[in-house]
Amino acid sequence: MQKIKNIIIGFGKGGKTLAKFLAQRDEEVLVIEKSNQMYGGTCINIACLPSKRLIIEAANGLDFIDAIGGKNEMTSLLRSKNYHMLADEKTVTVLDGEAKFVDDHIIEVKTANGIEKYEGERIFINTGAVPVILPIPGLKESKFLLDSTAAMEQTSLPKNLIIIGAGYIGLEFAAMFAKYGSNVTVLDHNSDFIPREDEDISKVVKKDLEELGIKFELGIEIEKVEDTDDHATIVYKNSAGEKKQVDGDRILAATGRRPNTENLGLENTNIKVNKWDAIEVNKHLETNVHNVWAIGDVKGGLQFTYISLDDFRIIKSQLFGNGQYTLESRKNIPYSVFIDPALSEVGLTEKEAKKHGIEYEVHKLPVAAIPKAQVAKDTRGVFKALVDPQTKQILGATLYGIESYELINTISLAINQKIPATVLRDQIYTHPTMSEAFNDLFK
Ligand SMILES: Cc1cc2nc3c(=O)[nH]c(=O)nc-3n(C[C@H](O)[C@H](O)[C@H](O)COP(=O)(O)OP(=O)(O)OC[C@H]3O[C@@H](n4cnc5c(N)ncnc54)[C@H](O)[C@@H]3O)c2cc1C
Ligand SMILES: NC(=O)c1ccc[n+]([C@@H]2O[C@H](COP(=O)([O-])OP(=O)(O)OC[C@H]3O[C@@H](n4cnc5c(N)ncnc54)[C@H](O)[C@@H]3O)[C@@H](O)[C@H]2O)c1
């Protein structure tokens, strides 16, 4: 059995960044990836980048199948770049195979050439997450069922697409498929639409999505899924308790993703997993086994590529720095839902501020008041921010409008660096841009 200084299981965002960093320090690294179609991880191959490419091409008016072709070219290029980024390093080996723990520090890898065993001085688990398929009678067996990966590999556009789940994937794919021309129905058991958001925001978002042709059925309970030759029928109880049904030629399951720990052999180790299947870690991301860490989606919590990347920074701080950058250092994580237009947020919502008895003033600006929105011919949306009335520090912002996925990062920087709203208000911005909205939003 070979002893290795660093073993990384899974080619995810945090893991690959760590592998490169270690290689630059001449440290030996073994990166184990179970699929040669996944070099570079979930984000570049089957998640963020392909979905955003398809979303952009839908807005460009491209045909769905042509867009899929272009998306495949992009992911193949990125996959190859990612592979070489690591494999071309002299101290890194990328091993094709599925890894499994046989004890706390020993890994067995099922490769095309048989089982190989390695002992890792340090082991980093970066195996991501997998879609949750609800235990609804007939769902798993339905030949019309897709997860987000399969939805982006279709050879024809769904005519009638039913999406279960109105979360990130549900809403982004609903808007995208509606723009390509599918009839989209979204079912969610929650009766509140995007429940984290303030009502003045969620109402406009829902209205805009409905104007794209998307139908929502909220507060429902799905009873069963039945297949016929050419479609599936989902039978459900609506919010009034009435029995209803909807037919679709595809069903997209978008009801969350759970940490990918099932086949990792963790039962052979002392590594603890919580009730959501996530690996338990301390503030340095170390598991309860010394020198074994978990990175990204597999450790539970927020599932974003930039969180996995930041996990790398935490591990770097512990192994090569002063250990002061930890999970506790991380605050105010921004996010964007790439619907049409995008919804982006950081910090507190008004609902949350009220709930915690935090004093705030509300600043609101309709996107239609921003010259660049008129120029871009898309005046939908509203920008909203909460500011501390005494210190003028920004407490949070919800930006619903074009380019909000760029703007939110400025607000996030201001919050983290304690730059008051008055500075953003008085800043000179280029014109015409969406950023100059801050001159008016923070008046
Ligand atoms: C459709 C979709 C869209 C998304 N859009 C966004 C977005 O716009 N922005 C954003 O920030 N986030 C987005 N996300 C979330 C984001 O993709 C994930 O949070 C992120 O990719 C997680 O990365 P990771 O580092 O945890 O590992 P991953 O990138 O998931 O890597 C895990 C790797 O481990 C491999 N693996 C698993 N088990 C084993 C094993 N036993 N042995 C060897 N290899 C193994 C897998 O094949 C995989 O390559 C999206 C997710 C989805 C599904
Ligand atoms: N733009 C982005 O950053 C982006 C985009 C896509 C995905 N992601 C990541 O991927 C993760 C997974 O996305 P997701 O959309 O699958 O999960 P999600 O947690 O965002 O949404 C799941 C939805 O399913 C609904 N649901 C749960 N059980 C249900 C039931 N029995 N019947 C009907 N509806 C039910 C929930 O109410 C919720 O609305 C997200 O948490 C996110 O972190 C991020």
75 plus 182 within the same structural domain = no
Any idea which ligand is nearest the CA of 42? 1
Is any ligand 1 atom within 6 A of the Cβ of residue 397?
no
What confidence tier does 83 reach under pLDDT thresholds 50, 70, 90? very high
| Contacts of 357 by beta carbon, 8 Å cutoff, 6+ apart | none
Tell me, yes or no, whether 136 lies in a domain: no
Nearest CA to ligand 2 atom 20: 167
Percent of the chain with pLDDT over 70: 100
CB 394, CB 347: distance < 8 Å: yes
Tell me, yes or no, whether 344 and 436 share the same domain: yes
User: For residue 304, which atom of ligand 2 is closest to its CA?
Assistant: 43
Judged by its nearest atom, the ligand closest to the C-alpha of residue 342 is: 2
Mean pLDDT of the chain: 98
- Which of 299, 329, 359 is where one domain is finished? 329
Tens digits of per-residue pLDDT, 393-435? 999 999 999 999 999 999 999 999 999 999 999 999 999 999 9
Question: Average pLDDT, stretch 30-53?
Answer: 98
Pocket of ligand 2 (CB under 6 A): 134, 164-170, 172, 187-190, 222, 254-257, 303-304, 335-338
Check which CATH number belongs to the domain holding 203 and give it. Answer: 3.50.50.60
Q: 128 C-alpha to center of ligand 1: Å?
A: 5
Q: Indicate if 151 and 188 belong to the same structural domain.
A: yes
Atom of ligand 2 nearest to the CA of 303: 43
- Rg from Cα positions in the chain: 23
At 247 the three-state DSSP class reads: strand
Kindly list the distances between the CA atom of residue 134 and the CA atoms of 144, 154, 164, 221, in Å, as whole numbers in the listed order. 15, 22, 10, 12
Burial class (CB in 10 A: 0-12, 13-18, 19+), 229: exposed
Cβ atoms of residues 13 and 24 within 8 Å: no
Tell whether 344 is covered by a domain. Answer: yes
Any ligand 1 atom below 6 A from CB of 255: no
Q: Where are the beta strands (DSSP E) in 144-204?
A: 145-146, 160-164, 183-188
Last residue of a domain, one of 269, 294, 329: 329
Cβ of residue 250 lying under 6 Å from some atom of ligand 1: no
In terms of domains, do 159 and 124 share one? no
CA distance 63 to 60: 9
State which of 146, 152, 188, 246 you would mutate to test the pocket of ligand 2, scoring each by most atoms of that ligand within 8 A of its C-beta. 188
Rounded mean pLDDT of 182-194? 98
Could you tell me if 21 and 99 lie in one domain? Answer: yes
Is the pTM for the entire model greater than 0.80? yes
Tokens of 276: 């959501």
Annotated binding residue at 236? no
pLDDT level of residue 331 (50, 70, 90 thresholds):
confident
Residue 344's CATH number: 3.30.390.30
Residue 139, domain member (yes or no): no
Contact 9, 123 (CB under 8 A): yes
Judged by DSSP in three states, 131 sits in strand
Rounded distance from Cα 257 to ligand 2 centre (Å): 7
Residue 310's nearest CA partner among 412, 401, 398 is 412
pLDDT on residue 322: 97
CB burial readout 339-365, b (16+ within 10 A) else e: bbbbbbbbbbbbebbeeeeeebeebeb
| 20 plus 121 within the same structural domain | yes
110 CB contacts (<8 Å, ≥6 apart)? Answer: 97, 98, 100
Q: Are residues 245 and 262 in the same domain?
A: no
Domain presence at residue 72: yes
| 221-227 and 250-253 strand pairing | unpaired
Q: What are phi and psi of 273, to 5 degrees?
A: -120, 140
Interior angle at CA 426, CA 422 and CA 432, nearest 5: 130
Tell me how far apart the terminal alpha carbons of the chain are, to the nearest angstrom. 66
CB of 86 closer than 8 Å to CB of 94: yes
CA atoms within 13 A on the CB side of 407: 28
- Residues 165 and 76 reside in one and the same domain: no
Number of domains in the chain: 3
Report yes or no on 35 lying in a domain.
Answer: yes
Say if residue 186 is exposed, middle or buried (CB neighbours under 10 Å; 0-12, 13-18, 19+): buried
pLDDT single digits (tens) 247-281: 999 999 999 999 999 999 999 999 999 999 999 99
Mean pLDDT to the nearest integer, 127-142: 98
Within a domain: residue 137?
A: no
Residue 138 is assigned to a structural domain of this protein: no
Q: Is 84 an active-site residue?
A: no
CA 98 to chain centre: 24
Residues 152 and 212 in one domain: yes
Tell me, yes or no, whether 7 and 84 share the same domain. yes
Answer yes or no: is 140 within a domain: no
Shared domain check, 424 and 346: yes
Range of the domain at 368: 335-441
- Ligand 2 atom nearest to 253, measured from its CA: 16
On whether both 127 and 265 belong to a single domain, the answer is: yes
Longest Cα–Cα distance in the chain: 67
Q: Which of 253, 284, 308 is the last residue of a domain?
A: 253
Mutate-to-test residue for ligand 1 from 305, 310, 412, highest number of ligand atoms within 8 A of CB:
305
pLDDT digits (tens, 9 = 90+) for 354-388: 999 999 999 999 999 999 999 999 999 999 999 99
With helix as H, strand as E and coil as C, how does 25-40 read? CCCCEEEEECCCCCCC
Q: Are 186 and 163 in contact (CB under 8 A)?
A: yes
d(CA 316, CA 323): 8
